[in-house]
């Protein structure tokens, strides 16, 4: 059944590693923003967690995830219920959701920035999207992150220039809340898999992708990473998982998500 | 009651300094013909409330916006709205940056005539520290603190729908009506543009009546503008105009918004539609796949 593949890309390794974030979620809405998170959620739903819920990225919940990109004229998506933007918040604020997204900055507290870089808040050097739904997501339900280019501009040394999402910063803890209320189950990057399960919610290394060293990860992270014992290698995709990924991504959009689309095992 | 007026008459109701809510979401079902009429007018110093796309970019770059209340501004397939970015990076506009759901709560509070709605959204983030006007309060029922999201009362709401009758019964048959119902309900004056004007009997069919998301008393004016959402989508009638948005974004790199307006805006919606290839071309734009 589960034959480890020999030939796979780093994107495919990341999809499989990211799918693991949804394994123990039970019946929640899995929202993967971007190609790799969406494929990860789809893979989880089609394999080990069929109870997950998923949207068509527009206004319907589906009982089967949609393949990415243009589909044939005879394709009929498996609608389950309507869930437009005004109703999405009913789900978000109920807590029954796990989102995976790619913020521009992630600091040592797990706080993220999607809004503005540099300069002043009144006149930022680089304006981005805005806070979007990050504030509400982060205080309402678990959020995992995917970072296609692991470096210390993403994992910055100081605090985020603008804090879009609540993290494990004691100074920002709202009255009556506990830092344990914040859930960041996984951080998947092009180098490794991490979580915030270290002492006092410090970022912690869970696995290294094939050929990546601890030193490389630490050099590219602006704050210390907690390391416990021997760090395993991120498991290779199985042939079965690759077959599902190919079916879910028939136009191979995953090949454009990590710079130069490198192989999963470094040459 | 006949609520039909022209785009020019509609925009003449918007006065300097007013707060204007704009319906739609990013590149989807924006009342762009009404936005263009604002661009042709002298009105200024607006506070704009929107799930923003090119509507916000154009209004910012043309100096119409004093303050923007937003959670994001995006063209989706072009993630960062180029003219909005320039306005922020030049420090041209005041902002109240909030979470997407906080905007919904603010509109609901206004619609329900409440001063605020409590929420935990925003706690622990710069949404609170950068917005001194958003208060954090104690609860009479527990020991936690809560964000008191203030009502976002709108002087005017502008939304675009598929179909409406002259009395202001409005149908949105696309997959999502976004937060347009709350924009309309939060406004003193809700102005709706529609692609098609229909007889009242059109809504007798129950499936069509189910696609009406607010009562007609909430609609103050109806403006019939076929293709009026272009270059944004009005699903299922037409998709968003990808080449047009790419060209628009190109003007942010070279020429600026004025060059874009010189090329496309014209002195009327008819002129605009001629400049972008005509109404038939707009209606032939394919729907996006997500």
- Tell me what pLDDT residue B219 has: 98
- Tell me what pLDDT residue B230 has: 98
Provide, as residue numbers in chain B, all residues whose Cβ is less than 8 Å from the Cβ of A141. none
Name the band, by pLDDT with cuts 50, 70 and 90, for residue B288. confident
Write out pLDDT tens, residues B210-266.
999 999 999 999 999 999 999 999 999 999 999 999 999 999 999 999 999 999 999
Decide if B71 and A89 are in contact by the 8 Å CB cutoff. no
- Token pair for A228: 């416990």
Whether the ω angle into residue B236 lies within 30 degrees of 0, i.e. cis, is yes
Q: What pairs with residue A194 in β-bridges?
A: A187, A205
Its sign, for the CA torsion A138, A142, A147, A153, is: positive
Residue in A125, A169, A176 closest to B142 by CB = A176
CB < 8 Å & 24+ apart, contacts of B274-280: B276/B230, B276/B231, B276/B241, B276/B244, B279/B226, B279/B227
Provide, as residue numbers in chain B, all residues whose Cβ is less than 8 Å from the Cβ of A174. 120, 123-124, 136, 144-145
Question: Which residues, other chains included, contact A235 with Cβ-Cβ below 8 Å and sequence gap of 6+?
Answer: A4, A16, A17, A207
Residue in A133, A164, A176 closest to B145 by CB = A176
Contact A15, A236 (CB under 8 A): no
How many Cα atoms within 13 Å fall on the side-chain side of residue A34? Answer: 21
Name the band, by pLDDT with cuts 50, 70 and 90, for residue B198. very high
Mean per-residue pLDDT for B19-42? 98
Give the Cα separation of A178 and A173 in Å (integer): 7
- Tell me what pLDDT residue A261 has: 98
Decide if A132 and B97 are in contact by the 8 Å CB cutoff. no
Interface test with B, best of A79, A83, A174, A178 (most B CBs within 10 A): A174
pTM over 0.95: yes
Provide, as residue numbers in chain A, all residues whose Cβ is less than 8 Å from the Cβ of B129. 163
Domain limits, chain B = 7-98+153-283, 116-150
Q: Which of A103, A164, A141 is nearest to B129 (CA)?
A: A164
Q: In tens digits, what is the pLDDT along chain A, a chain of 267 residues?
A: 578 999 999 999 999 999 999 999 999 999 999 999 999 999 999 999 999 999 999 999 999 999 999 999 999 999 999 999 989 999 999 999 999 999 999 999 999 999 999 999 999 999 999 999 999 999 999 999 999 999 999 999 999 999 999 999 999 999 999 999 999 999 999 999 999 999 999 999 999 999 999 999 999 999 999 999 999 999 999 999 999 999 999 999 999 999 999 999 987
Nearest-10 crossing angle of helices A239-248, A10-19: 100
Fold of domain B7-98+153-283: Glutaconate Coenzyme A-transferase (3.40.1080)
- Tell me what pLDDT residue A1 has: 54
SS3 of A150, please? coil
Question: Which strand (E) or helix (H) includes residue A195?
Answer: strand A192-195
Give the Cα separation of A257 and B73 in Å (integer): 23
Provide, as residue numbers in chain A, all residues whose Cβ is less than 8 Å from the Cβ of B79. 129
| Unique residue bearing structure tokens 């609901």 | B108
Provide, as residue numbers in chain A, all residues whose Cβ is less than 8 Å from the Cβ of B179. 85-86
Q: What is the dihedral of CA A234, A237, A241, A244, to 10 degrees?
A: 100
Size of interface A-B (CB pairs under 8 A): 148
Write out pLDDT tens, residues B61-110.
999 999 999 999 999 999 999 999 999 999 999 999 999 999 999 999 99
DSSP B65-116: EEEEEEEEE--SSS-S-HHHHHHHHTT-SEEEE--HHHHHHHHHHHHTT-SE
Interface test with A, best of B95, B126, B147, B174 (most A CBs within 10 A): B126
Give the Cα separation of B36 and A102 in Å (integer): 34
Residue in A92, A125, A172 closest to B101 by CB = A92
């Amino acid at each position: 059944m589960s034959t480890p593949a020999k030939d796979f890309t780093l994107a495919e390794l990341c999809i499989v590693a990211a799918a693991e974030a949804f394994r123990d979620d039970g019946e929640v809405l899995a929202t993967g923003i971007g190609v790799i998170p969406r494929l990860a959620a789809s893979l989880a739903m089609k394999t080990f967690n069929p109870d997950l819920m998923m949207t068509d990225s527009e206004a319907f919940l589906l009982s089967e995830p949609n393949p990415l990109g243009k589909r044939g004229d005879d394709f009929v998506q498996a609608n389950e219920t309507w869930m437009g933007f005004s109703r999405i918040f009913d789900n978000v604020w109920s807590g029954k959701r796990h989102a995976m997204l790619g913020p521009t900055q992630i600091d040592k507290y797990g706080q993220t920035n999607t809004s503005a870089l540099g300069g002043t808040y009144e006149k930022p050097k680089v304006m981005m999207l805005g806070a979007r739904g990050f504030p509400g997501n982060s205080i309402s339900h678990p959020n995992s992150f995917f970072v296609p280019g692991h470096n210390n501009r993403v994992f910055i040394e100081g605090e985020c220039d603008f804090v879009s999402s609540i993290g494990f910063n004691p100074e920002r803890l709202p009255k009556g809340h506990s830092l344990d209320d914040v859930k960041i189950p996984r951080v998947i990057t092009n180098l490794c898999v991490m979580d915030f399960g270290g002492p006092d919610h410090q970022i912690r290394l869970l696995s290294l992708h094939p050929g990546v060293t601890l030193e490389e990860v630490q050099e590219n992270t602006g704050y210390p990473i907690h390391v416990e014992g021997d760090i395993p290698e991120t498991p290779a995709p199985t042939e079965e998982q690759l077959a599902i990924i190919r079916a879910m991504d028939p136009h191979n959009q995953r090949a454009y998500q990590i710079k130069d689309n490198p192989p999963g095992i470094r040459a | 009651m006949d609520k039909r007026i022209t785009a020019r008459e509609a925009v003449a109701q918007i006065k300097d300094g007013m707060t204007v809510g704009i319906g739609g979401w990013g590149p989807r079902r924006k009342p762009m013909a009404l936005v263009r009429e604002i661009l042709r007018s002298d009105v200024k110093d607006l506070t704009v409330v929107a799930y923003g796309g090119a509507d916000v970019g154009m209004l910012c770059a043309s100096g119409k916006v004093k303050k923007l209340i937003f959670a994001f501004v995006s063209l989706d397939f072009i993630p960062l709205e180029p003219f909005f970015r320039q306005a922020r990076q030049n420090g041209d506009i005041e902002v109240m940056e909030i979470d997407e759901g906080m905007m919904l709560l603010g509109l609901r509070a206004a619609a329900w005539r409440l001063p605020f709605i409590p929420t935990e959204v925003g706690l622990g983030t710069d949404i609170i520290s950068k917005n001194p006007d958003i208060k954090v309060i104690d609860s009479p029922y527990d020991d936690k603190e809560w964000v008191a999201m203030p009502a976002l009362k709108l002087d005017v709401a502008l939304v675009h729908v598929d179909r409406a009758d002259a009395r202001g019964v409005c149908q949105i048959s696309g997959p999502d009506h976004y937060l347009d119902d709350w924009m309309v309900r939060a406004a003193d004056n809700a102005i709706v543009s529609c692609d098609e004007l229909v007889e009242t009997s059109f809504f007798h069919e129950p499936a069509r009546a189910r696609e009406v998301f607010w009562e007609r008393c909430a609609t103050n004016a109806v403006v019939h503008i076929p293709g009026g959402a272009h270059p944004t989508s009005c699903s299922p009638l037409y998709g968003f105009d990808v080449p047009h948005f790419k060209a628009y974004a190109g003007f942010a790199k070279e020429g600026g918004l004025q060059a874009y307006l010189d090329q496309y805006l014209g002195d009327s919606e008819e002129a605009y539609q001629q400049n972008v290839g005509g109404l038939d071309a707009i209606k032939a734009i394919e729907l996006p796949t997500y």
